[in-house]
Amino acid sequence: MSQIPVPENETARLQLLHELELVDSESEPLYDNITELVKEVLGVDAALITLIDEERQWFKAKVGMSETETPREHSFCTYVVTSGQTMVVEDARQDRRFQDNPYVIAENGVRAYAGAPITLFGEYHLGSLCVVATEPRSFSAREVRYLEILADWIATTITDRYELKNYRAERDILAQGPVCAVVWRLEPDVHLSYVAENAKRVLGYDDDYLLRPDINYESIVHPDERQELLDRMQRLIDGEASALEMDYRVIGQKNGQDVIRWVYHFARADLDKDGNVLRVRGYLLDDSKGKLLELQLRETNQNFELALTAGDLYTWSWNLQSNQLHTSQPWQLVLGYPGDTPERLDWRELVHAEDFELLKHNLRKYLNSGEERFEARFRIRHRDGHYVWVHSVGRLVDTDHDGRPLRMTGIHHDISEQVANEQFLQQQAEILELVSHIQHDFMLAKDFSDVCDEALPKLMRMTSTTVGFVGELPPGSSRYNLVLAHGLRIAADQKRTEGYQQLIRQGLEVEVSGDVIDNVLKKGQPQVCQQPISKLELHCQPPAFPELKNGLVLPLYFKRDVVGLMILGNSDERFKAHFLNLLRPMLDTLGTLMHMRRMDEERRAAVNELRRLATTDELTGVANRRVFWEAVEQRYDEFMRYDAPMSVAIIDLDHFKKVNDSFGHAAGDEVLRVFCARAKEQLRDIDLLGRLGGEEFAVLFPYTSRDDALKAMERVRKAVARASINFAGKELQITMSAGITEVRRSDDKLDLWLARADAALYQAKEKGRNQCVTG
């Protein structure tokens, strides 16, 4: 036999069964008559009313059965109790649940069974009305229906007796106590139909007075609460509310004077089986003393809260078992929540993420160490999103019998202003230190982008922002839609940040536009944007900033001129009013360093230009005579030390005087420029081309033999000869002659080396020009 089933509500079911006091009770004619009727109508061997307790099946009534009880584990009815449904077994020997049941395998044992549940209050199946046959048989639908109707009759009888017994006991108790029981009928109109005898003591009115047809109960209720009571009673009658619970005043008379009693009123509707309201049952308690104490206590608490609030102190109470934190209404107002309709505040969701773990650590430390009080500083989120700084102290005030903590109470102190002052002083010191540091670094490295790479992350951390940008207006420009990027940080996208930093090193120009940009760059007005910034207000391309939900857009000054801007955006908190004053030293420093960078670039450009003018031929851009001879001397000395091959070529443009005489000096200048350009195209980077004067040039070939130098000069000669020069609509052809020689160990003087090159050039001219000769 398989293990017997057990209902899901077994504990509550057994509790009700014992409360009814039916098990082991005396027999009753009603129940005996029902079993006899069932046996006769269904033509079975036995009919039983069974009740199932923890271990047995007890028979409240029986016919055709000698036993008064059987073990529960052998009971067919326990399956009915578990399912709450009628069960029919036509042949128990064929049913796996009962094949080895001792009451089945016995001689003349149970063969057929039908049982209907006895159910109270729609969910508690106490037992069954069942029939048993010693031969297999079936049961018709009509027979099963008879069984179910009679089982419902038994359940209704048990329920009515139970409720009547409780009702009488309740009335007896209430009549002598401080609670007055009343009942309102609904038809033909709403009126009291029952008032307990103690009405005079509780309400100040006799029960006979309140039951009079010309007296409505609400007439004794204070006018300020009368309509609310009527409205709530109507909702109860209409089935819109399951219960009524409220305090109100009742007006009575004593010695010609009005007497006020506070009454606590609880009411619930009695329903029929279809859920319709039959009557309203109420319980009235004279709560005058308690209410007066409550009002006095409320006034005391309000005065206490007022005193605490004056010192920015607010009470809290925490139930550690349910993890419910209750705070005073003034504290809820501090956090932006309405005090008249307080919302449930979950402190775990409101504490700043960075403070949460430390707060839990301090709490555990307090609860485990037995210290005198708990203490912590943390941030808690205001309803509008910003954070309030709190200094909270508390103490454990309740524990269970094992010493486990149950409840804590304490006080919050709003220290936002104090923390803001501390942070401002700290941030001010950090700003001044950062200003000093970047000034020092700039003086050493002269790299403004390095300054921005160091300053931006610290400024973003200080302002709790995740986007940072520094841009410079081009010097002397009247345009305000283009800036040179010097720094860019996007905290959430390190890869993009590194990519843009590489572009900044190459000179990234950014187009900027929008009303916010105009106010900053054109008008020099700092912009504090607490709300999302649209592209019509601020747009940069490139880079594509993340969507800015807020931002600081600040001008960078040198003296009174705007030289650039800084953007700090996407803070989790509102920008504080003191940020502009806090950042002013940094803004002035960045503007000054930006101006110094410009001045330094202009100085270096001027130095480079002077150097270029001092070392190059102004007309052709090649090395001038002085620079060329200095290079020749260096290479000569190098050869004398290391024997590194060196060659030189002396060049003369053929018939250059005719060009000047025929076409003018402008044409001659153009010929010289074109010659130098074509010559440099054929020479290596290490080869030095110089102008010695007029149409005479020279080439120094480091680490080059005479033969290799000849090959190079032949390339130059051919390139010059095969291309004509267009000047003023006329085609000019030029050629060149060159003498080439390599320095030798026997050249104990530099002039000997150069004299051979001059002699080779003379031979080239003597041979007809447009050729290269070595010497």
Residues marked active site are found at 695
| Long-range CB contacts (within 8 A, 24+) of 141-147 | 143/41, 143/42, 143/114, 144/86, 144/88, 144/114, 144/116, 146/38, 146/41, 146/42, 147/38, 147/42, 147/86, 147/114, 147/115, 147/116
Contact 530, 575 (CB under 8 A): yes
| 495/643 Cα distance (integer angstroms) | 53
d(CA 462, CA 41): 92
Q: What is the DSSP string of 190-250?
A: -EEEEE-TTHHHHHSS-HHHHHSTT--GGGGB-HHHHHHHHHHHHHHHTTS-SEEEEEEEE
| Cβ-count burial 263-282 (b if 16+ within 10 Å, e if not) | bbbebebeeeeeeeeebbbb
> Which pairs with CB-CB distance under 8 Å and at least 24 residues apart come from 498-506?
500/542, 500/543, 501/449, 501/453, 503/542, 504/449, 505/449
Query: Which candidate, 127, 71, 81, places its Cα nearest to that of 101?
Result: 71
d(CA 529, CA 535): 13
For 706, 721, 756, the CA distances from 774, given in Å and listed in that order, are 7, 19, 9
Q: Distance from CA of residue 79 to its chain's centroid?
A: 53
Closest CA to 433 of 468, 463, 460, 458: 458
Using omega within 30 degrees of 0 as the cis cutoff, is the peptide bond preceding 5 cis?
no
Q: Which residues are CB-contacts of 255 (< 8 A; sequence separation ≥ 6)? A: none
Contacts of 233 (CB under 8 A, 6+ apart): 184, 190, 244, 267, 280
Helices 416-445 and 579-615, packing angle to 10 deg: 10
Question: Contact at 8 Å (CB) between 625 and 691?
Answer: yes
Helices (H), 93-185: 102-105, 141-175
DSSP symbol at 4: P
Helix boundaries (H) for 558-664: 579-615, 625-642, 656-663
Contact indicator for 758, 739 with CB cutoff of 8 Å? yes
For 604, phi then psi, to 5°, come to -65, -35
